[in-house]
C-alpha cells in the first residue's frame, strides 16, 4: 500500500473533513513519506499511530508489536476518584525535541505523545522539518541532524498540526478537557508548542490544560525532605527513571523514548503524592501561564 494511501486512510479514520495538503511546494518540497523517529536510520513510514495493549497488573506488560519495535507496556493512569461518578478526562503524556533553547529562532524537530488510557492507536509520533539547520550541540544531544529532518520527506509543523488536532479529538473524552503532561512543561515544552501554533496562525485549544511533572517531582522531594530529613535528590527525567528503577532502551532525549519513561514516572509520582483525579487537575495550568519565548 502506498504511503499516500495509508495517510489518506489515517486522515479519514481521524475524521478530518477539510482537505489537508501535505508537503506543499516549498524550497523544493514535494509529496513524500513520513520518517520513523524512533531510530536514527532513515526508514519511511506513515504517521506514527500505534496500538498498545495494556493490563493493570503489578508488572509491566508488553505490547503486541513487531519485535523490532517493542517497548514496555504502559499501565492506564490509576488515580483515586473523589466521587464514584467522576469520570477522568483524557491524559496525554508528550515530549518534544528542538533545535535549541527557548528562543523564537529555534523550532521543534520531533514530537511524540501517548494517551494514558491505552488501547488502540494510543501513540502518535513524528519527526518535524524545522525549516532551518539543526545546530551541532542539539545533534549531539538528540542524534537528530540537519540532513535527517530538513528534507522533502519530513513534514513541517504546519503539515502535522491538522492531523495532530484531529488525533487528539479522536482520543478526547466527550465533554472533558485534555490534560497534557510533560517534564518541564511550563518552561520548555509548552512555550515551544505555543510558538509553533502561532507560526501557523493558530492558538492552543482552550480545553487543553498542562501538567508539569517536574513541578510534581519537586513537590514530592520537598515533602520527603521535610518529613524524613532525606537528602534532596535530582529530579530530571533520567534521575527519576533511576530512582524508580524503570528500565529503558534507546537513546536519551528522543521524544517517544522519553514519553515512555515519563508515562511510568507520572504513575509513581501521582501515587506517592496520593493525588486524586481532582488533585491532578488542580495542578494543571493553561498555556498562557507558561514561560514566554525569548526574542
The CATH number covering residue 87 comes to: 3.30.420.10
The per-residue pLDDT for 45 is 25
Residue owning grid cell 514535494: 30
Q: Residue 192: which domain range? A: 3-59+76-289
Of 106, 183, 195, 253, the active-site residue reads 253
**pTM tops 0.85, yes or no:** no
Domain-embedded: residue 68: no
- Does 69 fall in a domain? no
- CA 259 to each of CA 18, 83, 151, 252: distance values in angstroms, whole numbers, following the listed order: 30, 30, 25, 11
Under the banding of pLDDT at 50, 70 and 90, the label for residue 89 is: confident
pLDDT tens sequence across 14-46: 655 433 333 332 333 222 334 444 333 322 222
Which tens digit of pLDDT belongs to each residue from 118-173? Answer: 888 999 999 999 999 999 999 999 999 999 999 999 999 999 999 999 999 999 98
- At 231 the pLDDT is 72
**26 assigned to active site:** no
Q: Which of 270, 119, 277 is nearest to 209 (CA)?
A: 277
The predicted pLDDT at position 226 comes to 78
pLDDT tens digits for range 62-78: 222 222 333 445 565 55
The pLDDT of residue 291 is 93
Instruction: Tell me, yes or no, whether 295 lies in a domain.
Output: no
> What's the total number of domains in the chain?
1
Give residue 74's pLDDT: 59
Q: Is residue 70 part of a domain?
A: no
Residue 215 within any structural domain of the chain = yes
Amino acid at each position: 500500500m502506498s504511503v499516500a494511501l495509508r495517510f489518506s486512510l489515517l486522515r479519514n479514520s481521524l475524521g478530518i473533513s477539510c482537505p489537508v495538503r501535505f508537503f506543499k511546494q516549498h524550497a523544493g518540497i514535494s509529496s513524500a513519506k513520513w520518517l520513523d523517529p524512533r531510530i536514527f536510520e532513515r526508514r519511511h513510514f506513515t504517521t506514527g499511530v500505534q496500538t498498545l495493549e495494556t493490563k493493570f497488573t503489578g508488572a509491566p506488560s508488553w505490547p503486541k508489536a513487531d519485535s523490532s519495535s517493542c517497548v514496555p507496556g504502559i499501565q492506564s493512569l490509576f488515580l483515586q476518584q473523589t466521587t464514584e461518578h467522576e469520570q477522568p478526562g483524557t491524559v496525554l503524556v508528550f515530549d518534544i525535541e528542538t533545535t535549541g533553547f527557548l528562543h523564537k529562532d529555534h523550532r521543534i524537530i520531533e514530537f511524540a505523545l501517548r494517551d494514558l488510557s491505552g488501547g488502540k492507536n494510543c501513540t502518535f509520533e513524528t519527526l518535524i522539518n524545522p525549516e532551518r539547520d539543526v545546530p551541532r550541540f542539539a545533534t549531539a544531544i538528540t542524534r537528530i541532524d540537519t540532513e535527517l529532518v530538513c528534507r522533502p520527506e519530513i513534514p513541517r509543523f504546519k503539515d502535522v498540526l491538522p492531523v495532530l488536532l484531529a488525533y487528539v479529538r479522536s482520543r478526547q473524552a466527550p465533554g472533558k478537557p485534555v490534560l497534557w503532561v510533560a517534564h518541564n512543561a511550563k518552561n520548555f515544552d509548552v512555550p515551544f508548542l505555543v510558538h509553533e501554533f502561532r507560526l501557523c496562525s493558530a492558538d492552543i485549544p482552550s480545553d487543553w490544560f498542562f501538567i508539569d511533572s517536574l513541578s510534581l517531582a519537586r513537590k514530592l522531594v520537598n515533602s520527603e525532605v521535610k518529613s524524613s530529613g532525606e537528602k534532596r535528590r535530582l529530579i530530571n527525567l533520567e534521575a527519576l527513571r533511576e530512582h524508580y528503577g524503570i528500565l529503558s532502551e534507546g537513546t536519551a532525549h528522543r521524544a517517544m523514548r522519553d514519553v515512555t519513561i515519563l508515562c511510568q514516572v507520572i504513575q509513581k509520582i501521582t501515587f506517592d503524592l496520593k493525588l486524586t483525579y481532582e488533585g491532578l487537575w488542580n495542578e494543571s495550568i493553561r498555556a498562557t501561564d507558561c514561560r514566554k519565548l525569548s526574542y
